[in-house]
Every structure is written in C-alpha cells, then in structure tokens.
Copies of this chain bind each other. A is one copy, B any other.
Amino acid sequence: MEVPVIRNLLEANDTIARQLRGLFRARGILALNLISSPGAGKTSLLERTLSDLKGEFRMAVIEGDLQTDNDARRVAATGAQAVQINTGGGCHLDGAMVLESLTALDLDKVDILFIENVGNLVCPVEFDCGEDHKIALLSVTEGDDKPEKYPLLFNLSKVMVLNKIDLLPYVDFSTERAERFARRLNAELLILPLSCRSGEGLEAWYDWLRQARAAKKA
C-alpha cells in the first residue's frame, strides 16, 4: 500500500524540482541546499558568509525548521533577504515548500540562494529542492564515523564542510578517518575543514562559492 504513495510523492517532488531548477537557471541564481545534523553549524556558516561576502554577492536564505523563526531572524540580521519555512512536524524541506517560499523573496536581487534544510542527516537527502548542489556539513564533535553511517548525503553532496575544527584538540575525531570514509562514497567530494567561530578555513569556502557562482553565470 505505502510504496506507491512514496514513489508518487518523490515523483511529484522531482517535477517541482525541475521547475525550480529551470527558474534558477534562467536567472543565473546559484542555489545550494545545506544539510546536516541539528547543531552542526549551518546557520553559523550562513551568518559568517552573508556578512563577509555582503559586498560581493546578493544573497538570500530559505530557512527550514520544525518550529520558530530564530534562524531566519539570525540571518536577516546580516541584511540578507530571508524567509522561514516552518514544517510543523515535518522532517525535511521539499520542492513545493521552496517554490512557495520564493514568493516572499525578490529574485531579481539574488545571486546566491541558500536553502538551509531541517537539521537531519537522513530525510532531507531524498527530496530535491531544485538546488545546483547539496552541501553536507559535519562538525567534528559528531564523530568521524558519520559519513560511513549516513552515506547517502555524502554520496550526493558536492562539498563537505567539516566545521568546528577549533574543537579538534578536545574531541576524539580523526579527520583522516572521516575524509577516507567520505571519499570512498564520493571520490569527487570537496572537503573544506573550517571553523565558523575562529574563521579558520572560511576563505577556501568563499573561493568555492565564487567559482560555483561564476560557473552558474557562464
């Protein structure tokens, strides 16, 4: 009984995702879908990025959370356009939610659109939101076994941001082990170790954003 429903749900989502992808392409908007565990630092990475690249790109954020508009308020404080989606109990964003939330943004003033998904390493991975790339965030406090245990995200992502490296001296985390597992799933994965707190490594993330945005415009 359930299987056909799930399949139709994903098929319906893929139709909307294609529509979104066309819309982003037509406008030259780079769309990135940020996925991680709760508390890995998605919002912190966006706060830093929106502040530091403010003079370079026009950026907007779609925030996905079960409840609260805390994160939209945090990123809007940088001056970026922001819209909050509350999923109620829903464990992921989907194409329809993203499509609807676009009506709250002025897309003529967007070079890069960040979609901050619900904090969850499993369900968001299956629902295409029309993004150019999925960005996986893993923080070093979560353990180096996470790519092996949640493989689909790391398999489908373009970049793995390894966050909170300022905490490496205080936790048992082997960067080499995490990278090895992640690369086994995805040989092309770009791994960017950084700390949103200290700022270390952010420049490499910004360089990647510049390249990805340039590739999108061309």
Contact = CB atoms under 8 A, between A and B. Distances in A.
Contact of A170 (B39, B146, B148, B170): B170
B142 A89 contact: no
A143 interface: yes
A150 interface: yes
A70 B149 CA distance: 9
Interface residues of A, number: 39
B66 A149 contact: yes
- In the complex, the count of this chain's copies comes to 2
Interface stretch (A23-31, A49-57, A113-121, A201-209): A113-121
Interface in A110-160: 118-123, 126, 139, 141-143, 145-146, 148-152
A156 B8 CA distance: 32
Contacts of A171: 167
A94 interface: no
Interface of A: 1-2, 5, 8-9, 37-39, 65-68, 70, 89-91, 118-123, 126, 139, 141-143, 145-146, 148-152, 164, 166-167, 170-171
